[in-house]
Amino acid sequence: MSESRKHSVNLALRNRRIEKERFNRDTNAYLYTYEMNLCKLTDFNLKIFEDADLEWVQFVLSNRRTRERTHNYDVVMGLTADDNTMVVINAYLDGLYGVIGSETALNLLIKNIEAEKLPRQIYISNNNALKILSQTGQVEIV
């Protein structure tokens, strides 16, 4: 989920496109709106990334290297690694910033991500954590 309506619409349209390209399925795209009960967050294993720092970059890298979840958080909040971010991350993984894992390469990666342009997102990993949400609306995206 995203805090940004524009970003949410783009994600829904992207997912619809992926369904068509990968599975030859025509699907509808919807925008759902929710209210989040912040008091309930204390009941869950929560990770908040305030900035695109070294910890965030390492988290993104570990999650992009596999289709399996690489963490045990119920809820993760922070910046979204979008398509432009992935171009920068792929350059890092190709060794263009120096030796992968080196401080120099990681610092160049963080600098080139342009975090100020990234929307914030909320990831909920399980049905139990959905208790923090209450749906307030649904709109089909055309």
**pLDDT tens string 120-131:** 999 999 999 999
**Strand ranges inside 1-142, DSSP E:** 29-36, 46-48, 75-79, 120-124, 133-141
Measuring CA to CA, how many Å separate 89 from each of 11, 43, 77, 79, 115?
19, 33, 20, 14, 13
Q: Phi, psi (5° rounding) for residue 85?
A: -60, -40
Tell me what pLDDT residue 91 has: 93
- What is the pLDDT at residue 66? 75
Eight-class DSSP state of 43: G
Counting residues of the chain whose pLDDT is more than 70, the rounded percentage is 100
% of residues, the chain, pLDDT over 90: 57
Confidence class for position 49, pLDDT limits 50, 70, 90: very high
Q: What angle do CA 136, 50, 92 make, to 5 degrees?
A: 115
The pLDDT value given to residue 21? 92
Confidence at 67, pLDDT banded by 50, 70, 90? confident
pLDDT digits (tens, 9 = 90+) for 90-135: 899 899 999 998 999 998 998 898 888 888 999 999 999 999 999 9
85 band by pLDDT with thresholds 50, 70 and 90: confident
The tens digit of pLDDT for each residue in 24-46 reads: 999 999 999 999 998 999 999 99
Provide CB contacts within 8 A for 73, sequence distance 6+.
45, 46, 47, 123, 125
Q: Is 74 exposed, middle or buried (0-12, 13-18, 19+ CB in 10 A)?
A: buried
pLDDT at 75 over 90: yes
